[in-house]
Amino acid sequence: MIKNKSLVSINDISKEDMLRILELAADFEANPDQPLLRGKIIASLFFEPSTRTRLSFETAMNRLGARVIGFSDPGVTSATKGETLKDTIKMVSNYADLIVMRHYLEGAARYAAEQSPVPVINAGDGANQHPTQTLLDMYSINKTQGGLDNLKIALVGDLKYGRTVHSLIQAMSYFNPTFYFVAPDELKMPQEYKTFLDEKGITYEEHRDMADVLPTADILYMTRVQKERFSDLMEYERVKNTYVLHNDMLSVTKDNLRILHPLPRVGEISTDVDQNPKAYFFEQAKNGMYTRMAIIAAILGAKE
C-alpha cells in the first residue's frame, strides 16, 4: 500500500493501490464520520488558487479528526521574502505529519517530496499532474458506470495544459479504455502521452469536432481552457470558446453517458446542462472529499 509514501504522480501507485483507494473512498462515503487521525497535523500549502481541491482536502482532514495548518495564499508567507521551496518544505515538515501542496511549477511536487521527511501529496503541479483528481475521477467513473473496464472515454478541450487529463489517461490505461481526444490544433494531447498509450496498446482517436464522439462515449470529460498556462493571451482568446456543450446536444448520447469536468468551468458547459441527469460534475466534486479521506488515511496508515 501507499503507507508513508508520497503521492506525486499517478504513476507512483499500482493498479491494486488505486482500486484499494476506491474501496476506501466508498467506505468513507458510506460512513464519513471516522476520526481516525486524532493527534495528527496536516499541512495544506496552496501556492496556486484552488476551491475544490483545497476545501475538499481540508474537509477530509477535519472529518478524519486531524488538525490543519497552512495557507491558501503564498503572498502571506516568507516566500515573498525570497525563501526557497526547499526551505519552506523543510520548515513545514518539522511541524506536520503530512504535506498537501499545490504549486504552479511542473515538478515542484516531486522536488518537495525529495526534500521532505514526511509524505507529500501533489494537489496539482503546473500543467503536469493532479493525481488525487484522477482518483476521484476514477471513483466517479466506477460509481456511474458500474466498473472501470472497456469504457469509451471522450476528453474535450484543453488536452495540452490540462493536467487532469494527463493523469487520467495514464490511470485508466490499466482498464482497456478507448480514448477520443477532441481538441483544437493548439491544444492537442502532447505526443508523450500518445506515445505512452501506443506503448500500452491503448486505442485512441483524435477529433476536432465534439459531435463526432457524442453518440459513442460512456464518459464525456470536459475541460476548461487553462488561461493561466498561456504565454500568448491572443492565442487563448482564439481557442477559449472552441467547445461549448449545450443540453440539446445530449439527445444523441447513450443513456449511461455521464458528463464529468474537474471544474471550475468558465463556459464550456452551458448551465442548461446542469439539470440533465447525465450531468455529474457537482457529484464528482463531492466524491473528491471521500477520495481524499481515503488517500490521507492510507498514507498515514489509518486504514490498512
Residue 124 or residue 126: which is nearer to ligand CP going by CB? 124
Residue 229 touching ligand CP (CB under 6 A): no
Kindly identify the residues of this chain, within the stretch 176-205, that bind ligand CP according to CB under 6 A: none
Distance, in Å, from the CA atom of 78 to the CA atom of 55, rounded to the nearest integer, reads 23
Question: How is 223-274 classified by DSSP, letter by letter?
Answer: ----GGG-S-HHHHHHHTTS--B-GGGGGGS-TT-EEE--S--SSSB-GGGT
Name the β-bridge partners of 220: 154, 259
**What element of type H or E holds 197?**
helix 191-200
Site string (257-286) toward ligand CP, x via CB under 6 A: -----xxx----------------------
Q: Of 189, 219, 220, 191, give the one whose Cα is nearest residue 206.
A: 189
CB of residue 261 vs ligand CP: minimum separation in angstroms?
Answer: 8
CA dist 130 and 8 (Å) reads 8
Q: Contact between 35 and ligand CP (CB under 6 A)? A: no
What is the C-alpha separation between 251 and 262, in angstroms, rounded? 23
Strands (DSSP E) along 104-183, which ranges? Answer: 120-125, 152-156, 178-182
Angle at which helix 131-145 crosses helix 15-30, to 10 degrees, equals 70
* C-beta closer to ligand CP: residue 144 or 226: 226
Size of the site for ligand CP (CB under 6 A): 9
Q: Which of 6, 9, 44, 53 binds ligand CP (CB under 6 A)?
A: 53
Residue 135 sits in the site that holds ligand CP (CB under 6 A): no
Instruction: Name the residues annotated as catalytic.
Output: 52-53, 81, 102, 130
| Residue 52 binding ligand CP, by CB under 6 A | yes
- Tell me how far, at minimum, the Cβ of 222 lies from ligand CP, in Å: 12
- Binder to ligand CP among 93, 128, 133, 291 (CB under 6 A)? 133
Q: What are phi and psi of 230, to 5 degrees?
A: -85, 135
**Chain residue whose CB lies nearest ligand CP:** 53
Query: Helix or strand or coil: residue 169?
Result: helix
3-state secondary structure of 101: strand
Among 50, 59, 216, 247, binds ligand CP (CB under 6 A): 50
The residue (of 50 and 216) whose beta carbon lies closer to ligand CP is 50
For ligand CP, the closer CB: 70 or 262: 262
**By the rule CB under 6 A, 51 interacts with ligand CP:** yes
How many residues appear in the chain?
Answer: 304
Distance of closest approach, residue 262 Cβ to ligand CP, in angstroms: 4
Task: Report the amino acid identity of residue 142.
Answer: N
Nearer to ligand CP by C-beta: 63 or 292? 292
- Give the x-and-dash track for 71-110 against ligand CP (CB under 6 A): ----------------------------------------
Residue 115: strand, helix, or coil = helix
What is the contact surface with ligand CP in residues (CB under 6 A)? 50-53, 124, 133, 262-264
